[in-house]
Amino acid sequence: MTVESTAARKPRRSSTGGSKRAGAKKAAPQKSTEPELVQLLTPEGKRVKSAKTAEYEAYVADITAEELRGLYRDMVLTRRFDAEATALQRQGELGLWASLLGQEAAQIGSGRATRDDDYVFPTYREHGVAWCRGVDPTNLLGMFRGVNNGGWDPNSNNFHLYTIVIGSQTLHATGYAMGVAKDGADSAVIAYFGDGASSQGDVAESFTFSAVYNAPVVFFCQNNQWAISEPTEKQTRVPLYQRAQGYGFPGVRVDGNDVLAVLAVTKWALERARDGEGPALIEAFTYRMGAHTTSDDPSKYRSDDERVAWEAKDPILRLRAYLESEGHANESFFSELDDESEALGKRVREVVRAMPDPDLMAIFENAYADGHALVDEERAQFAAYQASFADAPAAGEVK
């Protein structure tokens, strides 16, 4: 699951000292359009190194061509899956879809930094992270089709259910991480959230709890610039990564469209969590290229120019440029990947269209683990009512 780095470990910062970058900042608000980013791959696909990024770069210094192709493949397939889901919504097969278009590097880079025994707490848009964790992408579509409200076993892939009320899962991640620490395990936990969720009280409380208990949790904020129609300026006066400083743990802003930088920074943060150095905040600076969901219309609140400018920083194009310029991938790799993408799209389409509606009695299933007298009574009443119709299906029959 992980892209292994053979880099030597670097000395760690104090868990309470905050990052040098964060600490050196002056009070003057930084315009979020001019972020100071950890970047290892420019939008043109050039590897860059600097003294400031050396600590993170060490985690991907020895990355192989095969691993780079793997990251590229993950991003391409995730984007293809996402496009198929959007199309399925347009065709009426899904009720809603929350596209990750543009955020592939943030999700694949961070997802591939996790180990099997780490635990992931996603929002509802982490389709790329789910891919990295080995969750079958068609499992993600049940809730968007309306056949369940989650449905996968979180413990199969250490990938928790999607959480729709924003920010709530950061507390679950923190509690889980407190449990990891109690167990004496060296796993880490990663909590995803967005720029909009950063305003939620639960996110602030998760920062407090994780800091006080030194919990091994990484907070991964995808700042995609827009919380439906509200720009990041409506959520914060300081760059989001700087919030960590006030809680006593480091915060880093990474180029969220640079899969290499995201991989490196996330590995750094997960490793220090495993080493008992507590939480860290990563702000992946990225862009939601599509709508918030298929119900949204971004033309009402943002300009095409902005999207066009961000398209020039596309996460997939820049890695492709790098792979090509370094000779890390040939034409057959790209064409085979095209075929694989189409096959994935076709499979997703077929699985979704064949996905049956749940049995009517599923309404009552799993409301409680130990049973509940009222649920039993209402289930029996409902079954009798349904059976009272002349054309009622037999018990257990799927309608």
Partner 1 sequence: MAVQKLPIARAINESLRTALENDPKVLIMGEDVGKLGGVFRVTDGLQKDFGEDRVIDTPLAESGIVGTAIGLALRGYRPVVEIQFDGFVFPAYDQIVTQLAKMHARALGKIKMPVVVRIPYGGGIGAVEHHSESPEALFAHVAGLKVVSPSNSADAYWMMQQAIQSDDPVIFFEPKRRYWDKGEVDKEAFPELSASLEQGRSRSALLHKAAVAREGSDLTLVAYGPMVKVCLEAAAAAEEEGKSLEVLDLRSMSPIDFDAVQASVEKTGRLVVVHEAPVFLGTGAEIAARITERCFYHLEAPVLRVGGYHAPYPPARLEEEYLPGLDRVLDAVDRSLAY
* Residue 109: C-alpha distances to residues 33, 305, 344 (Å): 22, 27, 21
User: Alpha-carbon torsion 12, 63, 107, 182, what sign?
Assistant: negative
Of 288, 325, 256, 289, nearest to 44 by C-alpha is 325
61 three-state secondary structure: coil
172 interacts with partner 1 by CB under 8 A = yes
Q: With CB under 8 A as the contact rule, which of the stretches 107-115, 205-213, 241-249, 261-269 interacts with partner 1?
A: 205-213
Task: Determine which residue in the list 8, 28, 308, 373 makes contact with partner 1, applying CB under 8 A.
Answer: 373
173 sits near partner 1 (criterion: CB under 8 A)? yes
Residue ranges with strand state E in the chain:
119-121, 189-194, 217-223, 226-227, 230-231, 251-255, 280-285
Count residues contacting partner 1 (CB under 8 A)? 44
Interaction between residue 370 and partner 1 (CB under 8 A): yes
Nearer to partner 1, 6 or 366 (CB): 366
Largest CA distance in the chain: 77
Nearer to partner 1, 360 or 375 (CB): 375
Percent of residues in the chain assigned helix, strand, coil, to nearest 5: 45, 10, 45
Q: Is 33 in the site for partner 1 (CB under 8 A)?
A: no
Tokens for 281, please give them. 């905040």
- Asked if 327 touches partner 1 (CB under 8 A), the answer is no
The interface region with partner 1, picked from 2-10, 31-39, 347-355, 361-369 by CB under 8 A, is 361-369
Residue 374 contacts partner 1 per CB under 8 A: yes
* Alpha carbon distance 263, 277 (integer Å): 19
Least spacing, CB of residue 127 vs partner 1, in Å: 18
295 makes contact with partner 1 (CB under 8 A)? no
CA distances from 284 to 68, 107, 232, 297, 344 (A): 19, 9, 13, 24, 27
How many other CB atoms sit within 10 Å of the CB of residue 48? 12
Chain residues 114-153 in contact with partner 1, contact rule CB under 8 A: 148-153
- 77 close to 69: Cβ distance less than 8 angstroms: no
Among 58, 61, 161, 355, binds partner 1 (CB under 8 A): 161
The backbone torsions φ and ψ at residue 59, rounded to the nearest 5 degrees and listed phi first, read -75, -15
Judged by beta carbon, residue 317 or residue 375, the one nearer partner 1 is 375
Min dist CB 206 to partner 1, Å, is 7
176 vs 268, beta carbon nearer partner 1: 176
For residue 225, state whether it binds partner 1 (rule: CB under 8 A).
no
Q: Does 171 bind partner 1 (CB under 8 A)?
A: yes
Q: Residue 159 or 285: which CB sits closer to partner 1?
A: 159
Residues forming the site for partner 1 (CB under 8 A): 148-155, 160-161, 163, 165, 168, 170-180, 182-183, 201-202, 205-206, 208-209, 212, 365-375
